[in-house]
Chains A and B, each alone.
Chain A
């Protein structure tokens, strides 16, 4: 019965043991999330012969590593920007484009599915579409265009970009829809009363308000593609050397022939992901000022 007065009282006692309640969560997170990351961090500062060093980070300029990071960055940038712009247009189309209403919930549900449809099934679906014996490849062949002789391949940079788009732009749709719906009717009315055209309203009112959300989400998409491994692995079997694929190869056999460098590559990945998620969070908070 004492517990009632404890909960009901407005002022909790100054020193409490309440924090003990989250200890199981902290232990679990340490064992399976923070701990593994910390191990990699510590090892990345250790020399292979023992002792502390910064050499592993200096060796990140190794051509193999730079190439992998470069490929990851390029593919993430391209799919984030193209996916972001197209996802935005798609969300705009169903919300403000005067399309029949059912399309709206249909797009949201479909985006929920597609943004979680990464990995092996996604890779397989595109192999059946644009692979060497894919449906679209065959269709082009029927019209006399041999895709694979004209330089296209599903298993290189552009091919993988097309595949990544399948989960990139649905994520944009999902994240940007609340922002688009947050645009106030009064702003549109006010600008129309002042004689602005629809284009001027979007150019000078809506887009500036939405800009932090759009940029933030594009950065989120960047991180989303940067950390992806399963789709690329299932598609190319590890021949397309992204940063994640390189780390995977390093796990199963020291392909860099330098354990320490492997840890540094993994930490570099975490830093890049951390920065993108951080910027996303800041921009999202900024966006709430107008759209909250």
Chain B
């Protein structure tokens, strides 16, 4: 974030002598690299779009989408995954927000410990995590994975743990941007109790940070395959995975939908991030 300090130095005379413009040679190279990147990025999307919109009947149509949407399995698995995603976000927020707040306010010394634990999902791959969960919770003392419903609870908790790196980072960044201590003291001096402080003071100030974390979590959970697969859950990821091997047009339509959802989530996040700085001065006043 200290990066913003650099551009102010351009006003020196030296900058006038040598304007930091790229030469023609490097400009041509930059264009070539960009075009290569765009070609690589877009080709799979075009190919998928072509399949989704034209595979049935050979002419442009929404037939593949219509078939997908009218498949009851699609509605059921997608609905289940969407509910899982919302519950995951809820559990993750419930664990992370009070913890991050408490660490910032009361035990800053433990920050590195918490940070380390939240980063563990990067060290323990999903397939290893589900392996451990199954071995831990399928035998008598802790035989939680015995029914579909209890396994689903386990799945949601595992997803919440996987969302920790994103959620904690985004909440922690949000907390750093506001003056937690002052806000808390101000609320306390007005007689507010802890639940009120978290709900009416901290949460509203973290709205953007929480929304970014939540959207990212949603994008990851909605089509997750590995954990759901080995826990035998009939969610959207395994459903798509089966379809890919057996059909042509329908999975293309699903891929277009997934891509659109990820795009929407990321678009909103970057939109919020860009709006954030302009709203900050207002808070400072």
Binding site for B on A (CB under 8 A): 3-4, 7-8, 16, 18-19, 21-22, 24-26, 28-29, 31-40, 43, 86, 89-90, 92-94, 96-99, 103, 105, 107-110, 112-114, 116-117, 119-121, 123-129, 133-136, 165-166, 169, 178, 181-182, 184-186, 188-189, 192-193, 198, 223, 226-230, 233-234, 237, 244, 247-248, 250-252, 262, 266, 269-270, 273-274, 277, 292
B164 shortest CB reach to chain A, Å: 8
Binding site for A on B (CB under 8 A): 2-3, 6-7, 9-10, 12, 14-15, 18, 20-23, 26-27, 29-31, 33-34, 36-37, 40-41, 43-48, 50-51, 95-96, 98-99, 102-103, 105-107, 110, 114, 117, 119-136, 154, 157-158, 160-161, 164, 181, 184-185, 188-189, 216, 219-220, 223-226, 229-230, 237, 240-241, 244-245, 248, 251-252, 254-255, 258-259, 262-263, 266-267, 269-270, 274
Q: Jot down 12 A-B pairs with beta carbons below 8 A, ordered by A.
A: A7-B184, A24-B95, A32-B160, A40-B135, A86-B37, A97-B31, A185-B10, A192-B18, A223-B122, A229-B125, A233-B225, A251-B127
Contacts of A33 in B (CB 8 A): 117, 120-121, 124, 129, 161, 164
B residues near A134, Cβ cutoff 8 Å? 47
Q: Are A25 and B95 in contact (CB-based, < 8 A)?
A: yes
Among B27, B226, B244, which residue has its beta carbon within 8 angstroms of that of A98? Answer: B27
A121-B223 in contact (CB<8A): yes
Q: Are A105 and B270 in contact (CB under 8 A)?
A: yes
Set of chain A residues within 8 Å of B266, measured between Cβ atoms: 109, 112-113, 116
B222 to chain A, nearest CB (A): 10
Q: Which of A90, A96, A227, A266 contacts B37 (CB 8 A)?
A: A90
Q: How far is the CB of A28 from chain B (nearest CB, A)?
A: 5
B219's nearest neighbour on chain A, judged by CB, is A116
A99, B37: Cβ atoms closer than 8 Å: no
Complex alpha-carbon distance, A32 and B2, angstroms: 36
Q: Of B46, B126, B188, which is within 8 A of A135 by CB? A: B46
Best-buried of B99, B127, B181 by chain A (most CB within 10 Å): B127
B27 near A128 with CB under 8 A, answer no
CA distance A188 to B121 in the complex (A): 40
Instruction: Please state if B47 and A96 are interface contacts (CB–CB under 8 Å).
Output: no
Q: A125–B37 contact, CB under 8 A?
A: no
Q: How far apart sit A105 and B46, CA to CA, in the bound complex (Å)?
A: 22
Complex interface: chain A residues within 8 A of B130 (CB): 251
- B230–A108 CB distance below 8 A: no
- What 10 A-B pairs have minimum CB-CB distances, sorted nearest first? A97-B30, A36-B132, A227-B125, A98-B22, A135-B47, A21-B102, A93-B30, A121-B258, A230-B225, A129-B47
Find A277's partner among B123, B154, B223, B263 (CB 8 Å cutoff).
B123
Q: Tell which of B37, B132, B154 touches A40, judged by Cβ atoms closer than 8 Å.
A: B132
